[in-house]
Amino acid sequence: MSEKGWDEQEVSEEVGLFDSIRNSGSKTVGKDITSADITEFFYTEENINFNAYYLRYRFFIRDGKKYFFYDERKRDGEYGPAAEADRIMYGYYEIPDDTWNEFYETIKDGTVVKRTVSTASGDSGPWTYLYWSGDKGKIQEYSFASRQAEESFLEICRRLAEDGEVSKGGKYRLTLEDAFFQTDRTVYAPGEEVTVCYDLIATDTDYHFYSNDVDIKTGYESGRGYVITFVMPERDVTLSVSSRNSMEYEPEE
């Protein structure tokens, strides 16, 4: 773009659009930006309205070492912003090259353009920024190549954050042995109340939820399905489910 800027030139809408794209500085990860070029990557979400939350994931390099950072805060049933006192997971640690490469594969084929300011009212993100060795402080705003790539990125980050919490000690892991169990996280401190939902409701089917590690309570709520609750003990917990056709005859033993 010239020093005067395209908005000062009397050009047609079509030519202006073409020139805007041509001069946007768009770069593609994996083509114009390699893994070795990346110095930092930020992913941030924030809701300051009811049920406030804050989420940040960060991959970065310092002194030749690769790190992962996570910060998750929640204020269920309250307005925000969610502050440091609302943190449920927080920390950072060094990661191996294999983990960095796994992260890189999820952002590969995504695009990076010049930074803009979000003006959408109530926008909660996500905001994603990639810092690389040739960005010169301008071309940093990142977009995933697809929704599937973004979901893969988030899955990796959730796993790494939970691994970080467990490795620090004082928190334990919840293992869910069915894909239809739903919960916002699977790592808890002893004494925390855990809520898990199960929304696969088939007709003429009875479900039995159980754990050999803890006593659970089971209820049903419209819109959520079965709701299983328990208090996290000082050990890992596995939650399972079995089902049977309620129309089948079972002879008495």
- Domain regions of the chain by residue span: 12-166, 171-245
Q: Check residue 202 and give its pLDDT.
A: 77
d(CA 130, CA 44): 12
Question: Helix 147-168 to helix 97-107 angle, to the nearest 10 degrees?
Answer: 150
Tell me which residues of the chain have a pLDDT lower than 50.
Answer: 1-23
End-to-end CA gap in the chain: 83
Which position has the token pair 């990346």? 38
Beta bridge partners of 135: none
d(CA 162, CA 160): 5
Which position has the token pair 């409701």? 201
The HSE-up count of residue 170 (CA atoms within 13 Å, CB side) is 5
The radius of gyration computed from the CA coordinates of the chain, to the nearest angstrom, equals 24
d(CA 211, CA 140): 47
- Residues ≥6 apart with Cβ < 8 Å to 114: 24, 25, 138, 139, 140, 141
Q: Check residue 118 and give its pLDDT.
A: 61
d(CA 195, CA 230): 7
Tokens of 14: 């079509």
- Measured in whole angstroms, the distance separating CA 212 from the mean position of its chain's CA atoms is 30
Q: Are strands 172-176 and 237-245 parallel, antiparallel or unpaired?
A: parallel
Q: Check residue 219 and give its pLDDT.
A: 94
**What ranges in the chain are assigned the alpha helix state H?**
13-22, 97-107, 147-168
Q: Check residue 121 and give its pLDDT.
A: 54
DSSP SS3 for 213: coil
Q: Determine whether 141 is exposed, middle or buried from the number of CB atoms within 10 Å of its CB (0-12, 13-18, 19+).
A: middle
